[in-house]
A and B are shown apart, each in its own frame.
Chain A
């Protein structure tokens, strides 16, 4: 609001690059150069001349090549070396590659742009500043939401800032901060202790506690980031797409993926699943397409067997729901039972997701489903202090609330001043505590920061 309208995108871009410099200075050039490449390629594709397919392939090669190198090279070399050592061959000499932050997110945004232009759904941007801002916009640069080009194109040019949006954005940002630092942070303290325990020290109750606290942690952590990104976007006049819609109220895994990391699910749907044929072909082909999408979605999260297995695990349930037709059951039928079963499947999935390796995952799941009772560790008893228990109790309703309930929406949209006032006062009271947790170094980094 402070900069002239013509320069507002340039100002935002400058701050976005400064933001990236601050977090990953060494990789700014990669971001800038790959942005430039896609800008040029987008323009070439948009000229309606020949070689559109070639330019598209070239862009995909650059983007997916960078992603593959930075994200998966370490993993593949480690696996090959493990194999070579097993056969007593010399391992490949390799220095670990550092992952540029946010690469998974901005790569997907660039791909969405190039494909939209290729498909003719959007014209390529002429103004390079607008394009660079779309790729690097700092509120959602690191961990989403993944904003599709077609969704934001108009806002890049025609958005309007207002004090009301600024106020609502601030509220939403503070809400996200509170969720992240207080709720996710407390859940993380418990979950980290439990997932750090040796497998033989896990008993049934502790394993379930770990699974549930991590389930809460990942939701409050990731959705908090999205809240903060959406809130900051609102402050600058943008409307980013929602990324979460009460995922733990889902009635099926299909429903879960409509509510969890919505922008990623939709990206995969529009840019992978549908081009593969979607559900318009045979059941087998549909299932195969779903399996491909789920596997890729799994390894998108990182180069580890646990992510692959997590993707396959979700894929199996999605396919089962399609094959058995359970996804077609009316929303009102067996609602509680279906919510419970879905939540159970999701919780088990998070154990796969959180584990360091498959051995830990199987051991952890074994502890969850084998009745044992042992002493809890002192570290866990410390983590289960009054503060964390109180916050855990506050967070637990997320499993039981109606699927369309949103507290922050209630606060923002409700015109009744009393709850709004109470909410604002509560946020203002807790904010200093959040600040103390951050400056004291107690707060843990965002989970999706490393993806």
Chain B
């Protein structure tokens, strides 16, 4: 890519003693040093050819120059013994997916593509191994699967090992994934699983494409991007009538060479590259396929996200589930700090936070013939994180995000006689209403998976549950009560614990109340103009009912009058909801006995109802809170950092500018949830050791964010995202990869796990474009910006939060303290715009050619009515034939148009970009005449 507009940083009197100027100059010199690339290239070549080594972290150089991906080497080292539960959970989930999909008459296949190091271990060279474990994640998967096999699993390791010969490589020396030949072998195994009649099998044409050709690792080793961008979704229709009609294929990089082969088996294929199944960002219709094939690289087993709830919700209605057993929730056993109250068919669970738990006593689990899934329907009144522990050996822990409203959750039950579930309703005090619990039973369907509808139907009718065969009609489904099941469970160890008796506390002591006071300065996310606040605490003695009220902080002004929040406290705790506490603050809480008003307790801490905004990203977001002391924070501004709430005083220009501006306009508390992590990447390739956001494993940065938001209430009104530098820095992430990942991150992670506290249909996700580098080498950054723009344009309720290219840089990646104020104000402007409190400058609306060397750009004003400067406008680039066309002048033609005169006429098709290019000169950008002096937004268009 041509370096357009690469210029040294400008020198002036103020930069003389500014360290950052010299760093910028250093960077500029480094980037514009013409021998840099050849030198680095030569060094890398020497390292590889002469010393069989590389400094590139993602690549491992093995024996005879063989290259392996770093991830596959991590697997090769076989040190995954502490991840047994993860694989047990995966196998359980696969069983559940297999059962629900097959119950709809479709088929499911799960394929694991072995790592190159698994098939060609002899070329890995010396890699130290742990002496204590000797199990890779894949080994653990195979071991777990061997006990109770997922019949849809296609193991390819054996067939690939048998097919490998010295003169016909299945994986190329410099590639991560299998080549065409390896993919062919894999396709044969997949076909063998699908079609058992040899005469109906497709004979693959191995000679159709030359084996090999991919050298992604060699390119990475030399410092190039991993390859051309992968298309995330592909639709393939076969011209030849194939054996099977259609399939939805979820895959990763291994899928590319597999596609030509499996395309011969199906009439239609929809191929989606994703880590999350289903991948909501692509809107696939799962019900449109006859088969769902899930392909995963061995090295990607640990990062796959199977959305069981989503898959079951999709298929349950049309699934033929032989037996549904209702479970009487009154069998639940209260644990510490919880009260269980039967309310009609519902079980009302009042909890005081993460110390509260209850148990669902022994329920029958799965065995070789029946696979069971517990279906739990719950209504949450606030966003929280529910944790379910399978009381088995080892204990499996499953967490589910709750949002206000009804949620149906599915829990695949492990292979054992019975199982007790311990449930932690949430981390915050609240009331959870369990509406129903059902056990879905899937009988094992013997036989093959051939596409024989008659046989299939017969199989289904022959399927039977343990102890009672179901009717021959597919539509007849047996529904029985858990009580009948319990008859079969007399030898179940936990059966005797089942009781309806809820323990009551002693009434002999004098009544007293203790309020679980909120943390000082905490802010509750509003819903509309108010919020429902959960009040909880403990009591002793006789207590008929508890009431609460809200007063203004340190006054007697009543905000919410005394209201009964818990009419029947039990088990020494009270929990209830104080509805419609108006937005504002600060407030104090008071509780008292409904009967004896003298039994009373005041909350000491102040709190409020307002807007919570999650601040995510890497260092430029961290700098929001730690750069600049030029402003004083509004008294209603608070910060939450995972451990608790804290006051912002004067440190953090961007955070203060941002928060103050919103508070000034709305006069309500604003809480900024700081979960930024310096150096964090979005994708795994960009993990510099501080974590990456796609990682959802326990204690990952994302997990800490989810846990933190849950602690702060679980719902936010906005998410602000300032990230991308790590993914751009090493040039290992392509534009499409970043765009796919960011879309997936928003749709499958953030919006799935965090409750939407806004009035929008979806949780608004605000992306601040990556800032401009002071020196060159902006191409990878530009790719990330383009990806961010793509996401803004393609994801609903996703916004460009601020243009930043014109803001002054403070070194390589960070802004000056003053520039952070502008950034904070601009993001606040976007927030206020979304809330309907501000107009917003939307930028250029069109471009046309006046003559061969003059271009006119129309701009639309929403905020201001005019703009400046009138002449010498910068930030524009005109590109023709891949090169920059020099601009003679760019000036204000009138308040609605800018004209650009070029130094030479445009003969070919050209493109115009504003604040969009690699290194535009942005000293005199277009700023409107509104009080905010907002810049014209980034723009890119073809000149016709």
On whether the beta carbons of B73 and A378 are closer than 8 Å, the reply is yes
Q: Which chain A residue has the least Cβ–Cβ distance from B26?
A: A22
Query: When A378-B77, A381-B128 are in contact, do A21 and B16 touch as well, CB less than 8 Å?
Result: yes
Report how far A432 CA is from B40 CA in the complex, Å.
10
| B-chain residues with CB within 8 Å of residue A387 when the two chains form the complex | 47, 50-51, 53
Q: Closest CB-CB distance, B539 to chain A, in whole Å?
A: 32
Q: Closest CB-CB distance, A110 to chain B, in whole Å?
A: 22
Q: Mark B1-36, 1 if CB is under 8 A from A, else 0.
A: 000000000000000111101100110001001011
On whether the beta carbons of A378 and B127 are closer than 8 Å, the reply is yes
Tell whether B46 is near chain A: CB-to-CB under 8 Å: yes
| A-chain residues with CB within 8 Å of residue B129 when the two chains form the complex | 375
Query: When A375-B131, A377-B128, A386-B52 are in contact, do A439 and B30 touch as well, CB less than 8 Å?
Result: yes
On whether the beta carbons of A433 and B128 are closer than 8 Å, the reply is no
In the complex, which of the residues B30, B33, B51, B77 contacts A385, with contact meaning CB atoms closer than 8 Å? B51
- Which B residues from 50 to 88 make CB contacts under 8 A with A? 50-53, 55, 60, 73-74, 77
On whether the beta carbons of A437 and B51 are closer than 8 Å, the reply is no
Report how far A221 CA is from B229 CA in the complex, Å.
43
Report how far A105 CA is from B478 CA in the complex, Å.
87
| B-chain residues with CB within 8 Å of residue A22 when the two chains form the complex | 22, 25-26
Q: Closest CB-CB distance, A142 to chain B, in whole Å?
A: 15
Tell whether B469 is near chain A: CB-to-CB under 8 Å: no
| A-chain residues with CB within 8 Å of residue B18 when the two chains form the complex | 25-26
| B-chain residues with CB within 8 Å of residue A432 when the two chains form the complex | 39, 42
Tell whether A4 is near chain B: CB-to-CB under 8 Å: no
Report how far A160 CA is from B210 CA in the complex, Å.
70
Q: How large is the interface on A (under 10, 10 to 19, 20 to 34, 35 or more residues)?
A: 20 to 34
On whether the beta carbons of B17 and A436 are closer than 8 Å, the reply is no
Report how far A388 CA is from B50 CA in the complex, Å.
12
Query: When A386-B53, A387-B51, A439-B36 are in contact, do A381 and B127 touch as well, CB less than 8 Å?
Result: yes
- Which of A381, A382, A390 has its CB near the most chain B CB atoms (within 10 A)? A382
- Interface of A (DSSP majority class): helix
Q: Closest CB-CB distance, A449 to chain B, in whole Å?
A: 15
Tell whether B43 is near chain A: CB-to-CB under 8 Å: yes
On whether the beta carbons of B16 and A436 are closer than 8 Å, the reply is no
| A-chain residues with CB within 8 Å of residue B46 when the two chains form the complex | 433
Tell whether B499 is near chain A: CB-to-CB under 8 Å: no
| A-chain residues with CB within 8 Å of residue B55 when the two chains form the complex | 440, 442
- Which B residues from 90 to 134 make CB contacts under 8 A with A? 126-131
| B-chain residues with CB within 8 Å of residue A439 when the two chains form the complex | 30, 33, 35-36, 39-40
Tell whether A80 is near chain B: CB-to-CB under 8 Å: no
Q: Closest CB-CB distance, A438 to chain B, in whole Å?
A: 9
On whether the beta carbons of B22 and A21 are closer than 8 Å, the reply is yes
On whether the beta carbons of A26 and B17 are closer than 8 Å, the reply is yes
Tell whether A320 is near chain B: CB-to-CB under 8 Å: no
Tell whether A1 is near chain B: CB-to-CB under 8 Å: no
Tell whether A402 is near chain B: CB-to-CB under 8 Å: no
| B-chain residues with CB within 8 Å of residue A23 when the two chains form the complex | 22
- Which of B17, B33, B50 has its CB near the most chain A CB atoms (within 10 A)? B17
Report how far A439 CA is from B32 CA in the complex, Å.
11
On whether the beta carbons of B128 and A375 are closer than 8 Å, the reply is yes
Q: Mark A18-53, 1 if CB is under 8 A from B, else 0.
A: 000111111011000000000000000000000000
On whether the beta carbons of A25 and B17 are closer than 8 Å, the reply is yes
| A-chain residues with CB within 8 Å of residue B128 when the two chains form the complex | 375-378, 380-381
On whether the beta carbons of B43 and A433 are closer than 8 Å, the reply is yes
> Total A-B pairs in contact (CB under 8 Å)?
71
Tell whether A85 is near chain B: CB-to-CB under 8 Å: no
Q: Closest CB-CB distance, B210 to chain A, in whole Å?
A: 33
Q: Mark A434-450, 1 if CB is under 8 A from B, else 0.
A: 01110110100000000
| B-chain residues with CB within 8 Å of residue A381 when the two chains form the complex | 126-128
- Which A residues from 366 to 399 make CB contacts under 8 A with B? 374-378, 380-382, 385-388, 390
Report how far A26 CA is from B811 CA in the complex, Å.
14
| B-chain residues with CB within 8 Å of residue A377 when the two chains form the complex | 128
Report how far A388 CA is from B18 CA in the complex, Å.
38
Report how far A387 CA is from B130 CA in the complex, Å.
25
Query: When A439-B36, A439-B39 are in contact, do A25 and B22 touch as well, CB less than 8 Å?
Result: yes
Report how far A29 CA is from B17 CA in the complex, Å.
9
Q: Which chain A residue has the least Cβ–Cβ distance from B629?
A: A95
Q: Closest CB-CB distance, B273 to chain A, in whole Å?
A: 28
On whether the beta carbons of A386 and B19 are closer than 8 Å, the reply is no
Q: Which chain A residue has the least Cβ–Cβ distance from B15?
A: A25
| A-chain residues with CB within 8 Å of residue B42 when the two chains form the complex | 432, 436
Report how far A25 CA is from B47 CA in the complex, Å.
37
Q: Which chain A residue has the least Cβ–Cβ distance from B43?
A: A436
Q: Closest CB-CB distance, B729 to chain A, in whole Å?
A: 11
| A-chain residues with CB within 8 Å of residue B74 when the two chains form the complex | 378
| B-chain residues with CB within 8 Å of residue A378 when the two chains form the complex | 73-74, 77, 127-128
Report how far A387 CA is from B131 CA in the complex, Å.
27
Q: Which chain A residue has the least Cβ–Cβ distance from B39?
A: A436
In the complex, which of the residues A25, A376, A386 contacts B16, with contact meaning CB atoms closer than 8 Å? A25
- Which of B46, B55, B60, B129 has its CB near the most chain A CB atoms (within 10 A)? B55
Q: Closest CB-CB distance, A154 to chain B, in whole Å?
A: 34
On whether the beta carbons of A375 and B33 are closer than 8 Å, the reply is no
In the complex, which of the residues A25, A382, A437 contacts B19, with contact meaning CB atoms closer than 8 Å? A25
| B-chain residues with CB within 8 Å of residue A26 when the two chains form the complex | 17-19
Q: Which chain B residue has the least Cβ–Cβ distance from A18?
A: B22
| A-chain residues with CB within 8 Å of residue B73 when the two chains form the complex | 378
- Which B residues from 528 to 552 make CB contacts under 8 A with A? none
In the complex, which of the residues B17, B22, B39, B60 contacts A440, with contact meaning CB atoms closer than 8 Å? B39
| A-chain residues with CB within 8 Å of residue B130 when the two chains form the complex | 375
Report how far A387 CA is from B42 CA in the complex, Å.
15
Report how far A385 CA is from B60 CA in the complex, Å.
11
| A-chain residues with CB within 8 Å of residue B19 when the two chains form the complex | 24-26
On whether the beta carbons of A440 and B40 are closer than 8 Å, the reply is yes
Report how far A28 CA is from B15 CA in the complex, Å.
13
- Which of A24, A28, A380, A440 has its CB near the most chain B CB atoms (within 10 A)? A440
Report how far A23 CA is from B30 CA in the complex, Å.
15
Query: When A24-B19, A381-B126 are in contact, do A386 and B51 touch as well, CB less than 8 Å?
Result: yes
Report how far A411 CA is from B40 CA in the complex, Å.
29
Query: When A375-B129, A433-B46 are in contact, do A385 and B39 touch as well, CB less than 8 Å?
Result: no
Q: Which chain B residue has the least Cβ–Cβ distance from A432?
A: B39
| A-chain residues with CB within 8 Å of residue B17 when the two chains form the complex | 21, 25-26, 28-29
| A-chain residues with CB within 8 Å of residue B60 when the two chains form the complex | 382
Q: Which chain B residue has the least Cβ–Cβ distance from A389?
A: B51
Report how far A29 CA is from B36 CA in the complex, Å.
34
| B-chain residues with CB within 8 Å of residue A375 when the two chains form the complex | 128-131
Report how far A378 CA is from B117 CA in the complex, Å.
15
Report how far A28 CA is from B50 CA in the complex, Å.
45
Q: Closest CB-CB distance, B725 to chain A, in whole Å?
A: 15
On whether the beta carbons of A436 and B40 are closer than 8 Å, the reply is yes
Report how far A437 CA is from B43 CA in the complex, Å.
8
Q: Closest CB-CB distance, B8 to chain A, in whole Å?
A: 14
Q: Closest CB-CB distance, B453 to chain A, in whole Å?
A: 52
Report how far A187 CA is from B714 CA in the complex, Å.
49
Q: Closest CB-CB distance, B246 to chain A, in whole Å?
A: 43
Q: Closest CB-CB distance, B67 to chain A, in whole Å?
A: 14
| A-chain residues with CB within 8 Å of residue B26 when the two chains form the complex | 22
Which 4 A-B pairs have CB atoms at the shortest separation, nearest pair first?
A436-B43, A385-B53, A387-B51, A436-B39
A interface list, Cβ under 8 A from B: 21-26, 28-29, 374-378, 380-382, 385-388, 390, 432-433, 435-437, 439-440, 442
Besides A28-B17, A375-B129, 17 new A-B residue pairs in contact (Cβ under 8 A), listed by A number = A22-B25, A22-B26, A26-B18, A26-B19, A29-B17, A375-B131, A378-B77, A380-B128, A382-B60, A386-B53, A388-B53, A433-B46, A436-B39, A439-B36, A439-B39, A439-B40, A440-B39
26 A-B pairs with CB atoms under 8 Å apart are A21-B16, A22-B26, A25-B18, A26-B18, A26-B19, A375-B129, A375-B130, A377-B128, A378-B73, A378-B77, A378-B127, A380-B128, A381-B127, A382-B53, A385-B53, A386-B52, A387-B50, A435-B35, A435-B39, A436-B39, A436-B42, A439-B33, A439-B35, A439-B40, A440-B39, A442-B55
